[in-house]
Copies of this chain bind each other. A is one copy, B any other.
Amino acid sequence: MVPMTPRRSDALSRERIVEAAVRILDTKGEGGLTLRAVTAHLSTGRGAIYHHVTNKEELLAAAADDVIRAVVTGDSVRDLALGIFDAIDVHPWLGAQLARDPSQPAVLRIFKSVGVGLRTHGLAGTALSDAGAALVNYVLGAAAQHAAGARQAAGESAREDYLEALAAEWAGSDDDPLVQEAAALLPGHDDRAQFLAGVDIFLRGISG
């Protein structure tokens, strides 16, 4: 009898390609994800990838959805938002990727979960869609900024010094007391705590 097609465990598949992409993105960052790096990692030929994935853009979207899928399981909107923030903290490339296209699978998945979560807050109709869009946009914006900041945190203390110097420049260059205090916005905050404070402002604005 002829056996079923053997399906060698190392056969190329969309799943294995996406898996490799996530690993490379986590290891070398966004700039490290080249088609050449992927094919080297899978020890296959250059063009083999294109039999399973249409192009690099789709590969990035698939990698993002792979990570987000595991995260949108939280019950409350607050937990959901925090889960997304933490995922982007662990995978900084996610921040830029989610901001790139609102109709990619990962963003739609987030939209769905937020929508469901907000329904339990008693929202419906326009109020629901306005609040849902606002919360999703806040989460994606905050996470993108945090990820971009963390990415260049090679010289973390250097960045802190830079922001402090800038705050001093603002305070010094303008007598307006408003500017003086606005300068305090800049340096040294716990991004995660500040992110949660923002979520709470939104939730207060929704129920208010």
Chain A: residues with CB nearer than 8 A to chain B? 95-96, 99-103, 107-108, 111-112, 115-116, 119-120, 124-125, 128-134, 136-142, 144-145, 148-149, 152, 159, 162-163, 166, 170, 176, 178-179, 181-186, 189, 194, 197-198, 200-206, 208
Contact = CB atoms under 8 A, between A and B. Distances in A.
Given A130-B198, A132-B185, A185-B111, A102 B178 contact: no
Nearest to A149: B102
26 contacts: A99-B145, A102-B145, A103-B162, A112-B170, A115-B179, A115-B181, A115-B183, A119-B178, A120-B178, A125-B184, A128-B182, A131-B201, A134-B138, A134-B194, A134-B198, A134-B201, A137-B141, A138-B138, A138-B141, A138-B198, A140-B145, A141-B142, A201-B202, A203-B205, A204-B205, A204-B208
Contacts of A108: 166, 186
A204 to B, nearest CB: 4
Given A198-B130, A205-B201, A205-B202, A148 B99 contact: yes
Number of copies: 2
Given A134-B142, A138-B142, A204-B205, 13 more contacts: A99-B141, A102-B149, A103-B162, A107-B145, A108-B166, A115-B181, A115-B185, A119-B178, A120-B178, A133-B198, A134-B138, A201-B205, A208-B208
A185 B128 contact: yes
Contacts of A131: 201
Given A138-B134, A198-B133, A178 B116 contact: yes
A140 B107 CA distance: 16
In this complex, which of A100, A178, A205 has the most chain B Cβ atoms within 10 angstroms of its Cβ?
Answer: A205
A206 B198 contact: no
Nearest to A141: B141
